[in-house]
Structure 1
Amino acid sequence: MDLELKGKKALVTGGTRGVGRGVVLALARAGVDVVTCYRTESEQVASLEQALKETGGDHHVVRADVADPGQIPGLLRTAGERYGHLDIVVNNAGAISHIPYGELPLEEWQRILATNVTGAHLVVQHALPLLRAGSSVISIGSKAVEAGIPLRAHYTASKAAIAGLSRSLAREFGGRGIRFNVLALGVIETENFHALPEAQRDLMTERYSAKTALGRLGLPEEVAGAVLWLASDLSRYVTGSTVSVDGGIN
């Protein structure tokens, strides 16, 4: 199916690994020109650049840490200079850690919120001059907001904040024809998941697969499919929503 995305312009934060990488490549293959960013140099940066080169299109992989407020204006300036406007913004960059709440240092609370909430807020705020009627802003959330996860209170709080931010922005900018939605993810098989010790990985696969209606974990390209839908006119009457991409997890 042609989603009529060819020629559209997108910014995806944290796009060199995991879910973000799947989203970047799916958008590029659909004909979207993509700017994405990364925090540190790695093999994934070079391999994504090569994959985008082979895909074709006007793509740019730039270094920018969205946890650092000082680096966000330059990221959006790059997108503006390259494209002049943005049709799609995907707030994907995120941080997570697992710490008992009673032992959670203030610095770690602030680190998680700086990346997951403040970073997304500043990306959207600086993107506003580039957005226009029909633009779609998609933020990557988590089913943890509904379920609650021990040792992740700070992460869960940050993802709940993203859902509230998106709903409020949907109301504020709906008159301009700009849509804001959240994808609430279940457990997705990414590089970090596969880097776990085999025993732990097998245990998590068995445990979380059993909680889903589909009996398996998700893949980055399946998240990307939901992004493509929210980026397209097929979802033009969808805004302020949280869409679950979780395999029917309970």
Structure 2
Amino acid sequence: MSKKLANKAAVVTGGSQGIGAGIVRKLAKDGANVVFTYNSNKDAADKLVNEIETSGSKAIAIKADVTKTEDLESLFEQAANQFGKLDILVNNAGVFTFQPIEATTLEEVNRLFSTNVFAPMFAVKSALGHFNDGGSIINIGSIVATSAPATAVAYASSKAAVDGITKVLSKELAPRKIRVNQINPGSIRTEGAQKAGLNEEFEKVLVAGIPLGRMGFPEDIANLTAFLASDEAQWTTGEIIMVSGGAR
């Protein structure tokens, strides 16, 4: 059976849990060799590596703080040393918070922008030297950038900045045939969301605003990521795609 990402090398930031883990699994299933980062949960990262290698694919977990340029540079050097090249970068690592403006602090805004904005920007900068001409960069944003719910001023503005990064870099990197696209997920059921308070009652409220009538799953984001990473999407760049069950 043909695998559309066979012989491609991918880096996924924030890949040990949630949406990131779903993306790592899908890229590996479609034939890619995958390097992914984790911040603190080594057990989850090791478990995911074992799962993928048991299925016959290759995966490497690297502890990295994506807000540190030295960690990013080391990440891509290690990925290139392992697989000889880089074809795919998925900027998935992100943090979120929901607070009214009265409770928003400069420290919290800096935390969100360091991870959600500066990290993907400098990840691309660090990765470029390891890309041949051709390749795919996928940024993971959020529908919050445009739905703009109350109490999301810091988070929404950080994700809106990612929209700008994608649009600019899709033009800047086009001469090298490096495509840059973005997925903006809606409400996704993940471990992080549940730890942040996604219980059964809150989920019912969210689902009521989703035309397709259910929460999203990491696989919903992973499937589109794999398409955008593949040669099937070779004439697609600069797109920001909402994957939200129709919620806006």
Percent identical: 34
The answer to whether the 8 Å contact 2:14/2:94 transfers is yes
Q: How far did 1:72 drift?
A: 1.2
Q: Any idea what the Cα deviations from partners look like across 1:2-28, whole Å, max 9, x if unmatched?
A: 452111100000000000000001111
Q: Distance in 1 between matches of 2:4 and 2:200?
A: 40
Q: Distance in 1 between matches of 2:134 and 2:72?
A: 23
Q: Distance in 2 between matches of 1:42 and 1:86?
A: 24
Q: Distance in 1 between matches of 2:42 and 2:149?
A: 30
Corresponding residue number in structure 1 for 2:217: 219
Amino acid aligned to 1:202 = E
Corresponding residue number in structure 2 for 1:94: 94
Give secondary structure in 1 for the equivalent of 2:199: helix
- The within-5 A match list for 1:153-192 is 153-192=153-192
Whether 1:242 aligns to 2:240 is yes
Corresponding residue number in structure 2 for 1:233: 231
Whether 1:112 aligns to 2:112 is yes
**Structure 2: which 5+ residue stretches go unaligned?**
none
Whether 1:72 aligns to 2:64 is no
Of residues 232-241 and 8-17 in structure 1, the stretch that sits farther from structure 2 once superposed is 232-241
Q: Distance in 2 between matches of 1:85 and 1:151?
A: 42
Q: How far did 1:132 drift?
A: 2.6
Q: How far did 1:85 drift?
A: 1.6
Amino acid aligned to 2:205 = R
Corresponding residue number in structure 2 for 1:127: 127
Q: Distance in 1 between matches of 2:12 and 2:33?
A: 11
Q: Any idea what the Cα deviations from partners look like across 1:169-202, whole Å, max 9, x if unmatched?
A: 11111111000011011000101233456xx512
Q: Any idea what the Cα deviations from partners look like across 1:68-90, whole Å, max 9, x if unmatched?
A: 23311111111121122211100
- Aligned residues between the structures: 248
Q: Distance in 2 between matches of 1:212 and 1:109?
A: 29
The answer to whether the 8 Å contact 2:96/2:112 transfers is yes
The answer to whether the 8 Å contact 1:132/1:177 transfers is no
Of residues 89-98 and 150-159 in structure 1, the stretch that sits farther from structure 2 once superposed is 150-159
Q: Distance in 2 between matches of 1:27 and 1:78?
A: 19
Corresponding residue number in structure 2 for 1:83: 83
Q: Any idea what the Cα deviations from partners look like across 1:42-101, whole Å, max 9, x if unmatched?
A: 431221121122122332101001022331111111112112221110000001112221
Amino acid aligned to 2:141 = G
The answer to whether the 8 Å contact 1:91/1:138 transfers is yes
Q: Distance in 1 between matches of 2:171 and 2:223?
A: 25
Of residues 223-232 and 207-216 in structure 1, the stretch that sits farther from structure 2 once superposed is 207-216
The answer to whether the 8 Å contact 1:10/1:87 transfers is yes
Give secondary structure in 2 for the equivalent of 1:132: strand
Corresponding residue number in structure 1 for 2:207: 209
Q: How far did 1:206 drift?
A: 1.1
Q: Distance in 2 between matches of 1:187 and 1:241?
A: 20
Runs of 4+ with deviation above 6 angstroms: none
Give secondary structure in 1 for the equivalent of 2:133: coil
Amino acid aligned to 2:28 = A
- TM-score between the two structures when normalised by the length of structure 1: 0.94
Q: Distance in 1 between matches of 2:22 and 2:74?
A: 24
Amino acid aligned to 1:239 = T
The answer to whether the 8 Å contact 1:28/1:55 transfers is no
**Structure 1: which 5+ residue stretches go unaligned?**
none
Q: Distance in 2 between matches of 1:158 and 1:19?
A: 18
The answer to whether the 8 Å contact 2:3/2:31 transfers is no
The answer to whether the 8 Å contact 2:86/2:132 transfers is yes
The answer to whether the 8 Å contact 2:16/2:41 transfers is no
The answer to whether the 8 Å contact 1:3/1:232 transfers is no
Q: How far did 1:40 drift?
A: 0.8
Give secondary structure in 2 for the equivalent of 1:43: helix
The answer to whether the 8 Å contact 1:209/1:217 transfers is yes
